[in-house]
Structure 1
Amino acid sequence: CGNKDQEADGKDLAPSPGAFSDPVYKEIAITNGCINRMSRDELRNKLAEFRLDTRQGHVTKPLVSGVKDVLKKRLKNYYKKQKLMQKEPPNGGSYYDYICVVDFEATCEEGNPPEFVHEIIEFPVVLLNTRTLEIEDAFQQYVKPEINPKLSAFCIGLTGITQDVVDKADAFPQVLQNVVEWMRQRELGTKYSYSMLTDG
């Protein structure tokens, strides 16, 4: 695949302007057009070249066209994956303008019993600029637990968060609303793209 005649044949397969107007999708469409014109033997040879499965699938006594469809789909998926993996991020280094790094603290008990319900008691967010790798802003609020409102001595020792701190804090729904408003004021999701990153 890839000569000028094949590219001309694939023009009608190129995506229209919009979400898929990136040149990589035109390349994928042209490649798909080339694959559609391959014979069954050509498909198997190309799959073998990339060390992909050349079998026809699990259908017994399939029609020839059915065999070709399975092989074509397999080869198209391979090319598509390779093309998208090679595509550079839109801003030259990251798919996002910012990363919101979140490191929750939660209620806990010593030994981490499986029946214990963990609740967030601290909601901190650090706003990292992916171009400069500088921290531009931060959000931090404590959260009042409701299922297990009294912190264990183990939790206080582990997190450094005391009972009086969470007693004076807002409940989770209000804190979450505050986070959303903080992000809105910084135009995250509107003017700037972002991703949330947590440690689990």
Structure 2
Amino acid sequence: MILSRHISCLGYCSLYIITEKGVKDVLKKRLKNYYKKQKLMQKEPANGDSYYDYICIVDFEATCEEGNPPEFIHEIIEFPVVLLNTHTLEIEDTFQQYVKPEINPKLSEFCVGLTGITQDIVDKADTFPQVLQNVVDWMRQRELGTKYSYCMLTDGSWDMSKFLNIQCRVSRIKHPSFAKKWINIRKSYGNFYKVPRNQTKLMIMLEKLGMSYDGRPHSGLDDSKNIARIAIRMLQDGCQLRVNEKMHAGQLMTVSSSAPLEGAPAPQMPRYRN
């Protein structure tokens, strides 16, 4: 039976068609948190419980081959950043640059088809150290880590723990200090809406929140914008997004919700490895 419900109390003025139990569970959780947040808002200003002034959403695209052989070395070929203002709940700015791979400079047909990034694009791009320096400069211009508190956010663990970690080794630079801790939105979403891990992929999260993907899948910038839309909806629903993963001594670790809260440091270009 198809159940239609107009969620007017949420203020979204949308018609939601609930076709499966998972969607109903998320909507029930959202309604419960809406009323809880309404009570809190009588005591605190809107969004006053945000942990950070800004959240930087990152979703790398990297070199790949069909089947991804275990010996294949992934190199970042697109570095996007979406700057989310947690007080206005709006995307305030974006950064995007493509990156020239060094170990496997020729992209596979599979990679081009998946990401839409062509050989000509990466051939004309800067190498990773220069692009990372541009990211650092962009973040500094927005006074992140100095005037404003912020943290990084990714869709899963791989962007920071695998792709960035591998890329820094390839480029012979240390892991950037501002990217050593981040919010894994899949964990946050699963914990907040009480859904299993297999229900936390990007397309599924969007669907269960009543949204459809906007843009080209596997475009790093478009993926980042869609992840930001999920983060905005979660903040609207009363979720307190906070760091839940980190890199320590080259290993991925979970950050407990009881750990002291701290934002990312002011961005700096990491030193080169010896």
Matched residue of 2:77: which SS? Answer: strand
CA distance, structure 2, for counterparts of residue 120 and residue 139 of structure 1: 15
Instruction: Determine what percentage of the aligned residue pairs are the same residue.
Output: 89
Higher-Rg structure is 1
Aligned counterpart in structure 2 of residue 128 of structure 1, from 84, 87, 90: 84
For 2:146 and 2:83, the matched residues in 1 are separated by 16
Instruction: Confirm whether residue 165 of structure 1 aligns to residue 121 of structure 2.
Output: yes
| Aligned counterparts of 2:50 and 2:103: Cα–Cα separation in 1 | 40
Deviation by residue 1:50-103 (Cα, 9 ceiling, x = unmatched) = xxxxxxxxxxxxxxxxxxxxxxxxxxxxxxxxxxxxxx9xx7221100000001
Q: Does 1:175 align with 2:139?
A: no
C-alpha distance after superposition, 1:141-168 (max 9, x if no partner): 0000001000000000000000000000
- Tell me, in whole angstroms, the C-alpha distance in 2 between the residues paired with 1:198 and 1:178: 20
* Count of residue pairs brought into register by the alignment: 111
CA distance in 1, matches of 2:146, 2:56: 15
Name the amino acid aligned to 2:77: I
Equivalent in 99, 117, 120 of residue 143 of structure 1: 99
8 Å Cα contact 1:126-1:138 kept in structure 2: yes
Q: TM-score, structure 1 length as denominator?
A: 0.54
Alignment of 1:14-29 (within 5 A): none
Cα RMSD of the aligned pairs, angstroms, is 1.3
Give the match for residue 144 of structure 2.
188
Task: Write the mapping of 1:21-40 to structure 2, written as runs, cut at 5 A.
Answer: none
Q: Secondary structure in 2 aligned to 1:175?
A: helix
Deviation at 1:132, TM superposition (A): 1.3
**Distance in 1, Cα, partners of 2:78 & 2:62:** 7
Cα offset for 1:173?
0.2
2:69 is the counterpart of 1:119: no
Amino acid at match of 2:122: V
Q: Secondary structure in 1 aligned to 2:130? A: helix
Of structures 1 and 2, the one with the larger relative CO (CA 8 A, separation 6+) is 2
Where structure 1 has 5 or more consecutive residues not aligned to the other structure, the ranges are: 1-87
Report if aligned partners of 1:108, 1:118 keep a CA contact under 8 Å in 2. Answer: yes
Structure 1 counterpart of 2:152, one-letter code: M
Preserved CA contact (<8 Å) 1:93 1:131: no
Amino acid corresponding to residue 112 of structure 1 in structure 2? N
Letter in 2 for 1:161: I
Mapped to 2, the partners of 1:104 and 1:93 lie a distance apart of 29
